[in-house]
Amino acid sequence: TQLLEQSPQFLSIQEGENLTVYCNSSSVFSSLQWYRQEPGEGPVLLVTVVTGGEVKKLKRLTFQFGDARKDSSLHITAAQPGDTGLYLCAGIPDQKLTFGTGTRLTIIP
Amino acid sequence: GAVVSQHPSRVICKSGTSVKIECRSLDFQATTMFWYRQFPKQSLMLMATSNEGSKATYEQGVEKDKFLINHASLTLSTLTVTSAHPEDSSFYICSAFVFLDYGYTFGSGTRLTVV
């Protein structure tokens, strides 16, 4: 059983559309991170959210940490082909970075 | 910034042979490194935690005799896949925790193909 479940697992949308990816858990986390991974490369950190209810923005990406610190969401506005990739949320239970199930996003030009 | 160098990036080996993957921290010391495995279209699964100067800690279901981890210095951890089988074919990625940045930095991964 995965500690962090992401939905959707796959998402393919047209350029310019908006989308939201969800990361859910039954456990409470002191913080959650979001990564993006390109094929054949290691994941790259996008953001760390620490406070329940926190909202962070990174250009067209908006990250939110749930009030109960059990879930998080990533919203992308006006998606572009360069946003294509595998998006991973991650938490740190027992001091070990553990990844969610992943969302593979494809933006169609 | 903190960089982790992983080699080789790709390797093809025959069934039954062993393959060693290296992970080096280039500009910082890493007392702890992590090894992940990623199958196609899936997320990263933690295999083991590598601790400098002590035995690695393996996740449930990971065979410690098959995936040998050595962390002999503060800048180098190695993963050796012993008696490789085709089902060991995967993308292996190492990671190190960079305390000051409060984050984890990742190697570029190793694509292992066992034929």
Break chain B down into helix, strand, coil percent, rounded to 5. Answer: 5, 55, 40
Q: Report CA-CA distances (Å) from A30 to A50, A51, A61, A94.
A: 6, 8, 22, 11
For each of chain B's 115 residues, which pLDDT tens digit applies?
788 999 999 999 999 999 999 999 998 888 899 999 999 889 999 999 998 888 999 999 999 999 999 998 999 999 999 999 999 999 999 999 877 555 789 999 999 999 9
CB-CB under 8 Å, A44 with B43? no
- Locate the chain A residue with the closest alpha carbon to B93: A42
User: What pLDDT digit, counting tens, does each position of A4-45 carry?
Assistant: 999 999 999 999 999 999 999 999 998 899 999 998 899 999
Distance CA A94, CA B58 (A): 13
Residue A73 has pLDDT above 70, yes or no: yes
Closest CA to A77 of A103, A107, A104: A107
Distance from CA of B32 to the nearest CA of A (A): 10
Residue A1 has pLDDT above 60, yes or no: no
A109 close to A15: Cβ distance less than 8 angstroms: yes
Confidence of residue A95 (pLDDT cuts 50, 70, 90): confident
Distance from CA of A71 to the nearest CA of B (A): 18
Distance CA A33, CA A46 (A): 7
Distance CA B43, CA B54 (A): 28
CB-CB under 8 Å, A40 with B93? no
Q: What is the pLDDT of residue B28?
A: 87
Higher pLDDT, A1 or A70: A70
Distance from CA of B40 to the nearest CA of A (A): 10
Tokens 């993963």 -> residue: B79
A-chain residues near B111 (CB < 8 A): 40
Residue A2 has pLDDT above 70, yes or no: no
User: Which of B6, B34, B102 minimises the CB distance to A48?
Assistant: B102
The strand pairing partners of B6, in sequence order, are B23
